[in-house]
Amino acid sequence: MSITIREVAGAAGVSQATAARALSDYGSVSPAARERVLKAAAELGYEPNRIAQALRSGAAKVISFVPGNIDVPFFARAAHILADRLERAGFVLMMASSYENLERERSIVEAMRSRMTSGLVIAPTSSQDSVHLVRLHEAGTPVVSIDRSLADVGIDSISVDNADLSMQATQHLISLGHERIAILYDSDDIDSSAQRVAGSRAALEDATVRGSLLPVRGGMTLESAITAFVSAMQGPDRPTAVLAADSMMTEAALYGIRALGLRIPEDISVVGVDDHSLTPLLDPPLTLMSQPVDAISNGAVDLMLSRLTGSGPISTRHVQLRATLVVRSSTAAPSL
């Protein structure tokens, strides 16, 4: 077993309580006593038992992160930043992906809660069913929603402006002269996807030329998305451009286009989402909407930390950041 605070107190010749006060820096301790305690702790190699601290004080200095899927570069990068900054603030990051499964999300959140997590950063699978999150939040554990926002339940959120994202992308395509545009998205149930489809539609409606949007629902796996996309492209009046609504859909579109034997951008223009270290090296380099992952992640940490210290705003915050269009070579004017 390891050194306990009792042994430190013994070695320093003070009571357990004084040792605790010195080590956790609260209450009042005489400088002399403090020094002896700190010295004894260092000599014995004392390390506080976080579990005991948590049981007594009600929080474990652990922040939980529940991304939709850690394989997605957006979330991997977010995990990096969260862990980095939270660690510096004295927390450890505990994470588990929901894999976009609500049942699983619930059980993960419960597992985190029962381990006395100090706060939760989550990309909620459903924008509708969030009672488990609300309950946690109302019990006093700060919850910050990232990448997606929740229906009006008083939970802070920070995400990209999804409608704006696809509006920008669609306008880019329209300005190039495209009039038949497909949008490949995963599911109507995921809020951000629905918003992106809506944004595209709005852009098309605002345009001076009369364009049409072909929404293609790709489902939750790469395979299903490829299949859906390929069959949609085989219909009459094939779109001359496609907007892939997230990174998985981007891959699906690329694979689908290859399977169809189409050339980019001669036969079809492609706008993807989410930059990645390899996208500039693709054939051709991919035009895409780049999400401000760093700003979103840092913002989530700031929100979390301010809620944790109680120094934050009273009211719920919903931050929306803008994605930026990165034009490379996968988009061009449609050939006639």
Partner DNA sequence: CTGTTAGCGCTTTCAT
Partner DNA sequence: ATGAAAGCGCTAACAG
By CB under 8 A, name the binding residues for a copy of itself.
2, 47-52, 54-55, 60, 62, 69-71, 73, 76-77, 79-80, 83-84, 87, 92-97, 99, 108, 110-116, 139, 222, 251, 254-255, 258, 276-279, 281-284
Residue with tokens 């930043």: 81
- Note whether 260 and 226 are within 8 A (CB): no
| Residue 27 in contact with DNA, rule: CB under 7 A | yes
- Note whether 116 and 103 are within 8 A (CB): no
- Which among a copy of itself, DNA, none contacts residue 128 (Cβ within 5 to 8 A by kind)? none
- Which among DNA, a copy of itself, none contacts residue 276 (Cβ within 5 to 8 A by kind)? a copy of itself
- Which among DNA, a copy of itself, none contacts residue 283 (Cβ within 5 to 8 A by kind)? a copy of itself
How far is it, in rounded angstroms, from Cα 210 to Cα 306? 48
| Residue 21 in contact with DNA, rule: CB under 7 A | yes
Q: E strands of 174-224, at which residues?
A: 180-185, 212-217
Q: Closest distance between DNA and the C-beta of residue 50, in Å?
A: 8
Q: Closest distance between DNA and the C-beta of residue 49, in Å?
A: 3
Half-sphere exposure of 177 (CA within 13 A, CB side): 7
Whichever of 96 and 325 has its CB closer to a copy of itself, that residue is 96
Whichever of 91 and 185 has its CB closer to a copy of itself, that residue is 91
How many chain residues interact with DNA (CB under 7 A)? Answer: 29
The angle subtended at Cα 206 by Cα 296 and Cα 225, nearest 5°, is 55
Q: Which helix (H) or strand (E) segment is 269 a member of?
A: strand 269-273
Q: Closest distance between DNA and the C-beta of residue 308, in Å?
A: 15
Burial of 136 (0-12, 13-18, 19+ CB in 10 A): buried
Q: What tokens appear for 175 in the block?
A: 């300005």
Q: What are 65's strand-pairing partners?
A: 95, 121
How far is it, in rounded angstroms, from Cα 317 to Cα 319? 6
DSSP 8-state secondary structure symbol assigned to residue 118: S
CA dihedral angle for residue 293, residue 295, residue 300, residue 306, rounded to 10 degrees: 170
Whichever of 18 and 159 has its CB closer to DNA, that residue is 18
3-11, 62-70, 127-135, 197-205 -> range binding DNA (CB under 7 A): 3-11
| Residue 137 in contact with DNA, rule: CB under 7 A | no
| Residue 113 in contact with DNA, rule: CB under 7 A | no
| Residue 1 in contact with DNA, rule: CB under 7 A | yes
Whichever of 255 and 333 has its CB closer to a copy of itself, that residue is 255
Q: Closest distance between DNA and the C-beta of residue 310, in Å?
A: 15
Q: How many CB atoms lie within 10 A of CB 70?
A: 16
Q: Closest distance between a copy of itself and the C-beta of residue 133, in Å?
A: 16
Residue with tokens 């918003």: 195
Whichever of 163 and 288 has its CB closer to a copy of itself, that residue is 288
- Where does this chain bind DNA (CB under 7 A)? 1, 4-6, 13-18, 20-21, 23-24, 26-30, 32-34, 48-49, 52-53, 55-57
